[in-house]
Amino acid sequence: MKKLISLVLSVIMLFGLCAPVSAAAEGPFPNSDFYTSGDYTLHYRVFEPEGKAEKQLLLIHGFCLSTVSLEGVANEYAKKGYRTVLVDAPNFGYSSRESSATDLVSREKLIGSLMSSLGGKWIVGGHSMGGGIAVNLACDYPETVTGLVLFAPQTSAHTEGTQQNQAVTFVMQIVYNLILKLCLKLPFLVRLFVSVSFSDSEYAKSYDLTRVTDPLALPGTGAGVATMTTHTKGPEFDKLKVLDIPCVIITAENDKVAMADNLQAVIDNAPADTELYTFSQGGHMMMEYAPAQVAAKTFAVIERAA
């Protein structure tokens, strides 16, 4: 059964890599805030350290997840004295959903605009899909991004600027909507997904599923994710490899979700100043499973960032 669930997760991720619904006027968390640009509203959260922050990070979650999955490491960074911003990518968490009526803008441009509005230099990072977006941000904004923190990064297939058959998009909307409805109506499926993602069935038994299901239940999520796949930005490894910034890549020994070839491509093309760590526990969600241990492996790279 776990192999089947793992396969389903990989297929969903593959699709995800390959009228906006407004977020609530009041954010779902005490530190929620919103940034609006064109048809988009991005939900983000700021984790402030005590005293003056000398450095700041921006982290992006993985496919079908939200800022909730990165709360643990954000709190660890705040304890260390780093200001940390978590952002929900379009179509996920409490950010707006895309549709056929949306004036489409890439995730990188939107998040780059958010960073600009907040000001300063940034160490950017992310988990899985968010790691791929972080890689693109580092390549697109070399004067702003001073370091990379990547948790099992997965880059997207390049579809930006290409013509996609409307019928294909329509079918993908049906597929995503069906998957979401099944998961929301059958919690045990979500529990199985969590078990595979964390590679720990005991941990999954007590996991609060609403951390995943509440944002996914927002209207327009399925259609938004399908629309997203029509304009994703692929990696520019030639630019990544020559970046003169420190980078850390965290992987997991029992990761049953990440596509190995995709992950290896990021590792092979990472900047020269890159550290690589592999955890034996926590699977694909190692940074949520063991935030203190995972964050500790990134401190040295963050300190070297300008």
Closest CA to 285 of 191, 212, 194: 194
Helix (H, G, I), strand (E, B) or coil at 276: strand
pLDDT value for 160 = 85
Q: Domain range for residue 69?
A: 2-304
Give strand ranges (E) for the chain. 32-37, 40-47, 56-60, 83-87, 122-127, 145-151, 247-252, 274-279
Helices (H) and strands (E) in the chain, counts: 14, 8
CA 40/CA 21 separation, integer angstroms = 9
pTM of the model: 0.91
Q: How large is the average pLDDT for residues 188-197?
A: 95
93: left (phi over 0), alpha (psi -120 to 50) or beta: left
Q: Is the pLDDT of residue 255 over 70?
A: yes
pLDDT value for 11 = 41
CB 195 within 8 A of CB 261: no
Contact partners, residue 300, CB within 8 Å, separation at least 6: 248, 275
Condensed to tens digits (0 to 9), the pLDDT of residues 82-97 reads 999 999 999 999 999 9
Distances (CA, A) of 251 to 92, 101, 194, 277, 297: 23, 38, 18, 6, 11
CB 22 within 8 A of CB 28: no
Condensed to tens digits (0 to 9), the pLDDT of residues 115-174 reads 999 999 999 999 999 999 999 999 999 999 999 999 999 999 999 887 767 778 888 889
- % of the chain exceeding 90 in pLDDT: 83
For the ranges 3-12, 38-47, 200-209, 292-301, which has the lowest average pLDDT?
A: 3-12
Q: How large is the average pLDDT for residues 2-26?
A: 44
**Tokens read off for 168:** 């294909």
Closest CA to 275 of 255, 242, 301: 301
257-276 as b/e, with b when 16 or more CB fall inside 10 Å?
bbbeebbebbeebbbebbee
CATH number of 270's domain: 3.40.50.1820
Number of domains the chain is built from:
1
Q: How large is the average pLDDT for residues 186-213?
A: 95
